[in-house]
Amino acid sequence: MTSREYVAGLFDLTGHVGIITGASRGLGLGQAKVLTDAGATVYNLDLAPHSDEEAIRKGHMTDIVCDVTEYEQVQKAVEEIAAKEGHLDFLINNAGITFKCRAEEFPEERLDKIMEINLKTPLMIAKICYPYLKESEYIGRIVSISSMAAYMGFTGVLPYDMTKAGILGLTRGLAEEWKNDNILVNSVAPGWFLTKLNEDMFEQNPDRKAAALSKPMLPRFGRPVEIGYMMLFLLSGASTYLTGHDFTVDGGATSHGF
């Protein structure tokens, strides 16, 4: 075997089956493109099917339309995937929301929804997937999306900051509890990526776009596939001794001095 064949084998996900929540666009869709190009079979659990024409043409993933906060729907979807494929090897908790409002004025109903989707739902779906992941022949993997907001304070999005910091606790706690169950648990913290969500925000506030570009060491926004590359590593044979950690993909934003 040549060195090139060895490396290619490490990152070959042919035969791996997994779920990404909220992968109809943005970071989730970028992850799906990378993982399916590496051979994985990916299912997108989302309220709406993805609309990326290139992704549809290439068959990047299969949509299962469901509300990820309705856990009976998720349970049914996971059972159907496992029955069809015969196994489940990874879960990526990607779905998340935010709402911009100062802390002293933050509406309780918005707070509850952000807490539910960003923090409660990753745990609940991990619980649903647990009996299947622990039987994976490739080692089961759970990777959740945290954020640089888990490390840095951002004005007007306190519940988002709270829940993304909570993902770090969820990751470490599950990694510890399931360490003997054939499951590795990690998280990935994106920095500024030019997704539709951020594009809409920057359109409303051009000054924020300039401010965001000043934060990373690298003076550009990330591309969604660059989160996909980190996911590929964390699902591959190259990361079998990694669990309980958060991996920052932010262009150096959280390390940037002045």
Per-residue pLDDT of the chain (258 residues), as tens digits, is: 898 888 889 999 999 999 999 999 899 999 999 999 999 999 999 998 876 666 655 667 899 999 999 999 999 999 999 999 999 999 999 999 998 899 999 999 999 999 999 999 999 999 999 999 999 999 999 999 999 999 998 888 999 999 999 999 999 999 999 999 999 999 999 998 887 767 776 777 777 777 777 777 888 889 999 999 999 999 999 999 999 999 999 999 888 766
In-domain check, residue 197: no
Which domain covers residue 42, as residue numbers? 3-192+224-250
Q: Of these residues, 43, 132, 151, 160, which one is catalytic?
A: 160
Q: At 66, which CATH number?
A: 3.40.50.720
Distance of CA 244 to the CA centre of its chain: 15
Dihedral angle over CA of 16, 44, 130, 177, nearest 10: 100
Active site residue 160: yes
Which residue spans within the chain are E strands per DSSP? Answer: 17-21, 41-46, 62-65, 90-93, 140-145, 183-190, 246-249
Sequence letter at residue 16: H
Residues 253, 228: Cα–Cα separation, whole Å: 19
Tokens of 113: 């929804």
User: Given this model, what pLDDT does residue 133 score?
Assistant: 98
In-domain check, residue 216: no
Residues 67, 69: Cα–Cα separation, whole Å: 5
Residues 36, 128: Cα–Cα separation, whole Å: 23
Predicted confidence (pLDDT) per residue in 172-217, tens digit: 999 999 999 999 999 999 998 887 767 776 777 777 777 777 777 8
Q: Which H helix or E strand runs over 63?
A: strand 62-65
Residue 56: CB atoms within 10 Å: 13
| DSSP class of 251 | T
In-domain check, residue 207: no
pTM: 0.93
In-domain check, residue 150: yes
User: Given this model, what pLDDT does residue 214 score?
Assistant: 76
In-domain check, residue 212: no
Residue 216: CB atoms within 10 Å: 20
Structural domain count of the chain: 1
